[in-house]
């Protein structure tokens, strides 16, 4: 899970609570966040430079994601042919 945008309560630190909750055709993942990092620095773009914390919920569609993890060396991944029927295909890649 990546950080939230600058200025938000989750811009410097997020921690997902284990075991997503299945709700119909969605997965709900609750997480806590802070705009203060481990060194104590607060995101200065937050409202009045205040330290913010909060609890939030991320929602994913069931079976709508995949993860391929490896070490930090060079590499590549090849998927099977993907057939798509629709007007738009969205993908998100986090290579960090």
What are the beta bridge partners of residue 59?
A: 28
Q: Residue 94 contacts by C-beta under 8 Å, 6 or more apart in sequence? A: 2
- In the chain, DSSP assigns E strands to 13-16, 21-23, 26-34, 53-61
What is the pLDDT at residue 22?
Answer: 94
For the chain, what is the mean pLDDT? Answer: 84
The CA distance from 11 to 51, in Å, is 11
Distance CA 30, CA 18 (A): 8
Per-residue pLDDT of 16-62, as tens digits, reads 999 999 999 899 999 999 999 989 889 888 877 789 999 999 998 88
Q: pTM, whole model, 2 decimals?
A: 0.63
Report domain extents, the chain. 13-61
């Amino acid at each position: 899970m990546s950080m939230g945008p600058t200025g938000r309560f989750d811009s410097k630190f997020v921690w997902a609570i284990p075991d997503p909750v299945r709700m119909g055709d969605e997965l709900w993942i609750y997480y806590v966040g802070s705009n203060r990092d481990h060194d104590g620095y607060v995101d200065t773009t937050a409202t009045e430079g205040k330290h913010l914390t909060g609890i939030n919920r991320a929602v994913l569609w069931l079976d709508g994601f995949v993860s391929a993890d490896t070490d930090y060396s060079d590499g590549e991944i090849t998927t099977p042919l993907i057939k798509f029927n629709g007007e738009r295909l969205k993908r998100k890649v986090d290579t960090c």
